[in-house]
Amino acid sequence: MPREPILTPAANPDEDDRELRPQRMRDMVGQREVMERLDIAVDAARKRGESLGHILFDGPPGLGKTTFATCIPRELNVALVTSSGPALKAPKDLIPYLTNMEENAVLFIDEIHRLPKPVEEYLYTAMEDFRLDIVLGEGVNARTINLKLKKFTLIGATTRAGMLSAPLRDRFHMREHLGFYALPEMTEILRRSAKKLNVRLAEDAALEIAKRSRATPRIGNNRLRWIRDYADSKAGGNATLEVSRAALEMAGIDTLGLDKQDRGYLETLMRVFGGGPAGVEAIAHTMNLATDTLSDEVEPFLLRSELVIRSPRGRVATAKAYEHLQLSPPADATDSQRPLF
């Protein structure tokens, strides 16, 4: 019998997510190369009866980092314990996790780039030698206790691989980047989610929602839930293409899948900063948003869609962005400001 992962309340993915989240790796769509490498690593660990090497997942939110982290222990038939960078404020918060871990179990730390430095340092020997050096007392009375740990696998997830210190990054045996999903993959994810949610989703509607989901499964699933409500309330539960389009329009989601916040970013860049170059902090301040929100959640898709480019002097809106928002580029744009695409 596969074990049910133990999820701590702090990091428990919400119930809705749980309902749609694939339970096994074979149920996941896309990320083929990552999946192939993980399959081999998991298979080898299982055959040898050893713990799997530590794995770091990075990529924008909603692309499957937590899903991989919850599927892998099921494949290995081991327990999963989860926590997150911000929840582990001091080394004492980490110690119970490590000392209570069963042999070969998985510890998942979400947002691992937000671990405070002293906590991170405790992880080094734990990851490398499965040992904890705990310092008790202070000054001349200080003593170090070496605690042997059971072998375990650390799975870290981050939206900012670049913010991880080199010593921590280097202790992961596998580092996997999760990229955006291709259209056929998004369509398949939506088809599967529609089945689980009992939505009568037309094939052309699935494709349309996929196109408007910013290549991100979590966003696709959220939009599908809204379309289900809309269809139930207004269309007898039939999510046709027309019904789906009307629902998306009502939610302020445009033909490229951008929402109000995405368009707000582009409009700020174009209207306030003349199309750029502008620093992300300046854009965030003007929009009254946290810089992290912009750089983690908004910018990756705008960059990928070539609506914005990054230049050494800041972000620049492209001709495609002006066209999409039906605005005209500034007449006095200098060469570096002139949209390149």
Nearer to ligand ADP, 36 or 50 (CB): 36
**For residue 170, what are the β-bridge partners?**
none
Nearer to ligand ADP, 51 or 213 (CB): 213
Distance (Å, whole) CA 232 – CA 187: 21
Q: Which of residues 277-336 bind ligand ADP (CB under 6 A)?
A: none
Active-site residue, from 114, 218, 228, 315: 218
Distance (Å, whole) CA 19 – CA 274: 44
Helices (H), the chain: 15-20, 32-48, 65-76, 91-99, 117-129, 166-170, 183-196, 203-211, 217-234, 241-250, 260-267, 280-287, 291-293, 299-304, 319-325
Tokens of 217: 């499964």
- Is the CB of residue 294 less than 8 Å from the CB of residue 287? yes
Order across the sheet with 174-177: list the strands: 80-84, 106-110, 153-158, 55-58, 174-177
Active-site residue, from 110, 171, 212, 263: 110
Q: Does 66 qualify as catalytic in the annotation? A: yes
Contact flags string 144-173 toward ligand ADP, x per CB under 6 A = -------------x----------------
- Is the CB of residue 136 less than 8 Å from the CB of residue 143? yes
Nearer to ligand ADP, 62 or 329 (CB): 62
Using CB under 6 A, count the residues that bind ligand ADP: 20
Active-site residue, from 67, 153, 158, 159: 159
Give the residue at shortest CB distance from ligand ADP. Answer: 64
Tokens of 206: 């699935």
Please tell me whether residue 221 binds ligand ADP under the rule CB under 6 A: yes
Nearer to ligand ADP, 213 or 244 (CB): 213
3-class state of residue 329 by DSSP = coil
Active-site residue, from 21, 65, 223, 263: 65
332 CA to centre of own chain: 39
Stretch that binds ligand ADP, among 29-37, 47-55, 145-153, 300-308 (CB under 6 A): 29-37
Nearer to ligand ADP, 131 or 160 (CB): 160
Distance (Å, whole) CA 182 – CA 160: 22
Contact flags string 35-74 toward ligand ADP, x per CB under 6 A = --------------------------xxxxxxx-------
Active-site residue, from 58, 66, 315, 318: 66
Return residues touching ligand ADP (CB under 6 A).
17, 20-22, 28-31, 61-67, 157, 189, 217-218, 221
Residues labelled as active-site residues: 65-66, 110, 159, 218
